[in-house]
Structure 1
Amino acid sequence: MDITTLFVNIAGLALIAWIVWYFWLYRKEGVQVAEVAGVQEVPITVKGGYDPDVIVVKRGKPVRLLFNRQESALCSEMVVFDKINKSAKLPEGETVTIEFTPEEPGEIPFQCQMGMLRGKVVVKA
């Protein structure tokens, strides 16, 4: 085995390790939501995805998510919360509010109607 083959093998293994870490092992911590006047409120920008896409809230306190869609892609024109039976159309350039009060700790996933853009609300006790 010459030095070129050794280098290519090491580079390939390093690339495989990075792909495994990035797609299966890496977990975002999420954005801690500040409470204002008894409501946990966070603005979410919709542009090629949700920013932030992981939101951490406290159980039993009202949550207000302010979605602002800044693109014209058809996929992002709606947000769907299957677990809590809520959804909303997101007109381009407008802010749309979704409010709920999480009662159980866990995750509340949300996505576009096609399932391509994804996010989640993590409810802590």
Structure 2
Amino acid sequence: MTPDRWMVTALGLALVAFIVWFFWMKRAKGTRAALTSGGYQEAMILVKGGYTPDVVVVEHGKPVRLNFRREETAACSEMVLLPDFNKSTRLPTGETVPVEFLPDQPGEYEFACQMGMLRGKLIVE
């Protein structure tokens, strides 16, 4: 094999390794929810082509309030579902909608739109 073929092969393998890391192995640190004076762990989540932030970190045993603000009109983002907490709510465009619950067990819990296209994660420590 010539040196230029070695270089192209090495660059291709490096690109494949980067793609695998970026899409499947990269771990988002998440945004820690702020503790309010009312005792809630609170985070604001913007809904626009996805959830921002899409990973929220909270402590177990303290009430959580996730404030969703939808800034788009796509049908997929009309609802948010938190199946592990038996919560679902409609998200009207341009309004902030709070979702309150009490996570009593540590773990990772997903939230998503009703079609499962928009996804987020709640990490309970």
TM over 0.5, yes or no? yes
Report percent identity of matched pairs: 56
Equivalenced residue count is 124
Where does 1:12-91 land on structure 2 (aligned, <5 Å)? 12-37=12-37, 38-91=39-92
Shift in Å, 1:11: 1.2
In the alignment, the residues of structure 2 paired with residue 47 and residue 107 of structure 1 have an alpha-carbon distance, to the nearest angstrom, of: 23
User: TM-score, normalised on structure 1?
Assistant: 0.95
- Helix, strand or coil at the partner of 1:21: helix
How far apart in 2 are the matches of 1:43 and 1:123? 17
Runs of 4+ in 1 over 2 A off after TM superposition: none
**Cα deviation code 1:1-41 (max 9, x no counterpart):** 22331221011101110011112211011111110111111
Question: 2:9 maps to what in 1?
Answer: 9
Output the amino acid matched with 1:16.
Answer: V
* Structure 1 segments unaligned to the other structure (5+ residues): none
TM-align CA RMSD: 0.9
Q: d(CA) in 2 for partners of 1:75 and 1:51?
A: 16
